[in-house]
Amino acid sequence: MAMAMMRKRFSFVCSSSSAEEDSASLYGSAPIPATDPPSEQEHPYASLLCCHRVQDSLLSSNSSFTGYRGILNWIIILLVLTHAHLFLENFIQHGFLIDVQKVLEHLIEDNCNWPSVNLILAANMFAVAALLLERSQEKGMLSPTSAHHLHLTNLGLLLLFPAAVIIHEPTISTGGAFFSLWFYTALGMKLYSYQETNRWYRHTHQPETDKNVSVAHTANNEHLTFQDLYYFLVAPTLCYQRDFPRTPKVRINKLLHRLLEMVIVIQIMVGIVQQWIEPIFQRSENSFSIMDITMRVEHLVGLVAPTHFLWLLFFFLSHSYLNFCAELLRFADRHFYADWWNATTLITFWKNWNIPYQKWCHRHVYARLVEKNVPPSRAELLVFLMSAALCEYLIALPLHSCRLCIFLMMVFELLVAVFLGNYFQGNYGNGLVWLCLLLGPPLAVTTYFHDHYISLPHHHHHSSSSPLASDQGHPSTVFLQPH
């Protein structure tokens, strides 16, 4: 009888409300109500007797544990050490290949003509034209319909002008062509938002009396200034509004920090391109379109890692640049991206990784299509196809090569998201997203640069004179050596 009483007493010592709560979380049921404690005095070794309670393993799906920072640090160190080994092999095999002069060759244009610089300076004509059209419309000199048609004409010329110059101007550099085209594309989006948002502002002010008309016109004219327009054009956003949120002051330390980040990231990107990617390009004699399937797969596998690192660095460079501009202009809305790295679906990734562009698409394309009775699902599809075509345009045109690889790869990813989304959820969905990032559009973009590199006149001369060639002068041995 005494032993039974002791067992009963000890069993109560180890029962607690926390254990009941843990049991409820583990088995997904309501906690068992606690019984009244016995009248006996608590055991003096209660804390030592009770060493077990109901709880989940930290790595199980039921656990609410989120402290994975140590694992992340371990993965980062492991990746650095692994790829440091690859870089060491690369240096032993190829030597030091980083040459800033080669980078400048793709940026500096011949004979001090600088067509890309002239192209960017000419963009002021389209911005001033948009402002004058808004002022004319505000003063009643143009009807809303006529002003809208003139705005669309201005935007159409803005999109055609850089394309025509890039195609027909032989002296424009590759880097200048890229920068000019991306600049004009962003400018076109900004000016479209500028004219449409001002039209919305006018529709919100429909005064009835002459006094209210003059007050509304005065308020609108205060914002139709060069200062307001050019602040919007250089601000890190694509969507116009009056009175952007502003920070109290410019933090010089943050400004210098972002500038230093951009300088370091650009140097690392140049090193990856010249030391890692270019030797793989040098082993190619043909473009991807006519390359043997075995050689094509070999090159693509070798390009997966450097291309992915380059894409991640480009994202971080965008982060630094946008925050640099925001700090310089005291622009307070710095929600440039969400946690796309945690996305469990490709659709979530597309919505989170470029917030300014997504805001513009939702505000000026998706919402307008839905207003015109287009089903939301079809409107989303049209926005996605427009984005895929825009990516193809921005990469293919400066390289004078259009094979629709990027567009088709993005459409393929859409099919993967639609048909496999229900099978890959949670962590598996996130793994699928990262797999598509490794083997998706960034790799397709690299094939365009590969074929552009192959078409350069110095490629075959560089391959034949490379120190990788054998002493017998057979340049073919260069392409047989492993990377």
Give the pTM.
0.77
Confidence band, pLDDT 50/70/90 cuts, at residue 295: confident
Residue-range domain boundaries for the chain: 113-204+215-234, 257-462
CB crowding 327-352: b at 16 or more within 10 Å, else e: bbbebebbebbbebeebbbbbbbbbb
Residue 329 pLDDT: 93
pLDDT in tens, 358-409: 999 999 999 999 999 999 999 999 999 999 999 999 999 998 888 888 999 9
**What type of residue sits at position 223?**
H
Number of residues that this document lists for the chain? 483
Whether residue 323 is predicted with pLDDT greater than 60 in this model: the reply is yes
pLDDT in tens, 168-220: 888 888 888 899 999 999 999 999 999 999 988 887 755 544 445 444 455 56
Whether residue 276 is predicted with pLDDT greater than 90 in this model: the reply is no
Provide the token pair at 204: 């919100």
Residue 101 pLDDT: 62
Q: Which residue has the higher pLDDT, 258 or 140?
A: 258
3-state SS string for the chain:
CHHHHHHHHHHHHCCCHHHHHHHHHHHCCCCCCCCCCCCCCCCCCHHHHCCCCCCCCCCCCCCCCCCCHHHHHHHHHHHHHHHHHHHHHHHHHHCCCCCHHHHHHCCCCHHHCCHHHHHHHHHHHHHHHHHHHHHHHHCCCCCHHHHHHHHHHHHHHHHHHHHHHHHHCCCCCHHHHHHHHHHHHHHHHHHHHHHHHHHHHHHHCCCCCHHHHHHHHHHHHCCCCHHHHHHHHHCCCCCCCCCCCECCCCCHHHHHHHHHHHHHHHHHHHHHHHHHHHHHHHCCCCCCCCCCHHHHHHHHHHHHHHHHHHHHHHHHHHHHHHHHHHHHHCECCCCCCCCHHHCCCHHHHHHHCCHHHHHHHHHHHHHHHHHCCCCHHHHHHHHHHHHHHHHHHHHHCCCCCCCCHHHHHHHHHHHHHHHHCCCCCCHHHHHHHHHHHHHCHHHHHHHHHHHHHHHCCHHHHHHHCCCCCCCCCCHHHHHHCCC
Range of weakest confidence among 15-24, 276-285, 301-310, 343-352: 15-24
pLDDT in tens, 11-60: 555 554 444 444 444 444 444 444 445 445 666 776 677 777 787 777 77
Residue 454 pLDDT: 82
Confidence band, pLDDT 50/70/90 cuts, at residue 285: confident
Whether residue 478 is predicted with pLDDT greater than 70 in this model: the reply is no
Residue 7 pLDDT: 52
Q: Report CA torsion sign: 40, 46, 50, 55.
A: positive
pLDDT in tens, 112-149: 567 888 889 999 999 999 999 999 988 888 888 898 89
Q: Are 334 and 318 within 8 A, CB to CB? A: no
Return mean pLDDT, the chain.
79
Percent of the chain with pLDDT over 90: 35
pLDDT in tens, 96-110: 666 666 666 655 656
Confidence band, pLDDT 50/70/90 cuts, at residue 158: very high
Alpha-carbon distance of 106 to 350, in angstroms, equals: 31
Select the highest-mean-pLDDT range: 72-76, 235-239, 415-419, 479-483: 235-239
Confidence band, pLDDT 50/70/90 cuts, at residue 472: very low
Confidence band, pLDDT 50/70/90 cuts, at residue 153: very high
